[in-house]
Structure 1
Amino acid sequence: MKKQLVLAVWMAAWVSTAHAGTVKIYAAASLTNAVTDIATIYQAQHSSTKIIPVFGASSALARQVEAGAASDLFFSADQDWMDYLVQKQQVSSSSVRPLLLNQLVVISPKALNIPFRADPGFNFPAAFKGHLCTGQMESVPVGKYARQSLIKLNWLDSLQRRIVGTEDVRSALAFVERGECQVGIVYKTDALISQKVRIIGTFPENSHRPILYPLALTRQGEKNAEAVQFAKFLTDSGQARAVFKKYGFGVQS
């Protein structure tokens, strides 16, 4: 009788697990707070679905997806890395949905008072000492946008040896929070969540490519009904849109 009871409990647990859907979303580091909140809301409404977010630089995540990492959704901080996965046939172009917009800002520790003016005539490299932190400029989206703006304003050459390239935008934010970099270039949404930094300026939109966040199902995700449903919640639900707006993202209609 005892063995039968144990077996029955085990079978019930197995059946429950078998029916529980899992959705793995690979999302840009700047989406950490928003996607975590949205996943919590969604799981409260769909108790049989478990959302597993993986956050990091879009570049690193895209390469993991390409290498075969189990993933259902890819939420990138730029179009380039989404296009990369389309070219690698890991994402169908018909699945891609441009969803969010962001802004590129300059930050410093709150205790500092560093001047900033987005004007080629302003000597920004002389306005602060030490290093400038942002994402790695050859691959991490925020670093790519930062590079475009610094070139546009004729500041890149003067700052070249003072730039610290980080693995993602949250790492750049952390460096500035700790005072290890006097200046950082991050997204507005990241700056807004920190109590330790101040926004000292915003780069003009025409100084860099549009900061666009596309979302797509991966080839694996297209076969996962729960992933399809969660993707629809992210793109179409008023609850998800409200969370994105709360964190400062622009939401595409």
Structure 2
Amino acid sequence: MHVKPLLAALALALPGAARADILTFAAASLGGPLDRVVAAWEAQGGEAVTVSYAGSSALARQIAAGAPAELFISANPDWMDAVAEEGLLVDESRRDLLGNTLVLIAADAQAAPVEIGPDLDLGAMLGSGRLAMALVDAVPAGQYGRAALRHLGLWDAVAPHVAQAENVRAALALVASGAAPLGIGYATDAAEEPRVGVIGTFPKNSHAPIRYPAALIDGASEGAVDFLDFLSGPEATAIFAEAGFEVSR
């Protein structure tokens, strides 16, 4: 398996660039579990896969601009819809793979839990610090987080204190490093980072369901078709479930 940052993947879009592996664009929050899925796929003889992780919005825009991805896994339906509107998806290949949970995380892995609701004084918890979130206008985790805070009536008080990061993993890193005392992200990301603790789970009704659709991009190879099927199969879903994802049946 090869994992490339977004800029490296974009270099593949230059005229004359060769494409050898199955290039997969995946939401940053899939990093770790998806790496393990790819390793399992390749161990059984599957074609090599290169995964480029970034915010779903950035990935969707790059696909629309011509980046040669064969498979796209978004952290919400809207950015998959944006690619579909460009006429770039393989008909009937789209499927919901996974679900996730939105959580409040703290830089102190032993911090006491709180109940997330309208009475939570998040501003007082922050003190002079910042609330780390992915980009609230573009990245799914940030969009879900802002929607949840608005639903609970907490957004206006904390909005001036939000530190926005380019993706959910970057927001998590701000908390893990101690640069921000609190952050909002996915439960699966927090589980991958021992330096943070989950102190609360946002009510399901405070935001839209968190879903990860996957689809083939027009021109995808037969290997990409098989890899997408593998992502929905029992071996991959077991890995995702162990990482804390909700697995679509």
Q: Deviations over 1:30-74 (max 9, x none)?
A: 111111111111111116x11111111000011111100011000
Aligned Cα root-mean-square deviation (Å) = 1.5
| Amino acid corresponding to residue 230 of structure 2 in structure 1 | F
> So what's the TM-score if we normalise by structure 1?
0.87
Q: Which runs of 4+ in 1 moved over 3 A?
A: 111-115
Task: Give the unaligned 5+ runs of structure 2.
Answer: 1-18
Q: Deviations over 1:112-134 (max 9, x none)?
A: 73663222123221122210001
The structural deviation recorded for 1:93 is 5.2
State the distance in 2 between where 1:41 and 1:135 align.
30
Alpha-carbon spacing, 1:249–1:112, altered in 2? closer, same or farther (3 Å):
closer
> So what's the TM-score if we normalise by structure 2?
0.89
Q: Which has the higher helix share?
A: 1
Alpha-carbon spacing, 1:34–1:68, altered in 2? closer, same or farther (3 Å):
same
State the distance in 2 between where 1:101 and 1:93 align.
23
| Amino acid corresponding to residue 161 of structure 1 in structure 2 | P
2:23 aligns to what? 24
Maintained 8 Å contact 1:108/1:114: no
The structural deviation recorded for 1:209 is 0.3
The structural deviation recorded for 1:144 is 0.1
2:241 aligns to what? 245
| Amino acid corresponding to residue 170 of structure 2 in structure 1 | S
Q: Secondary structure at the match of 1:165?
A: strand
After the TM superposition, which residues 1-253 of structure 1 pair with which residues of structure 2 at under 5 Å, given as runs?
Answer: 22-46=21-45, 49-92=47-90, 94-110=92-108, 113=111, 116-129=114-127, 130-221=129-220, 224-235=221-232, 237-253=233-249
Alpha-carbon spacing, 1:145–1:36, altered in 2? closer, same or farther (3 Å):
same
Maintained 8 Å contact 2:106/2:196: yes
State the distance in 2 between where 1:115 and 1:167 align.
27
The structural deviation recorded for 1:91 is 1.3
The structural deviation recorded for 1:22 is 2.4
| Amino acid corresponding to residue 77 of structure 2 in structure 1 | Q
State the distance in 1 between where 2:219 and 2:179 align.
41
Q: Secondary structure at the match of 2:137?
A: coil
Task: Give the unaligned 5+ runs of structure 1.
Answer: 1-19
State the distance in 2 between where 1:93 and 1:206 align.
32
| Amino acid corresponding to residue 135 of structure 1 in structure 2 | A
Maintained 8 Å contact 2:109/2:198: no
1:5 aligns to what? none
Maintained 8 Å contact 2:113/2:198: no
The structural deviation recorded for 1:185 is 0.1
Q: Deviations over 1:134-167 (max 9, x none)?
A: 1000000000000000001111111111001110
1:4 aligns to what? none
Q: Secondary structure at the match of 1:60?
A: helix
State the distance in 1 between where 2:32 and 2:103 align.
18
Structure of larger gyration radius: 1
Q: Deviations over 1:152-193 (max 9, x none)?
A: 111111111100111001101100001110100000000011
Q: Secondary structure at the match of 2:197?
A: strand
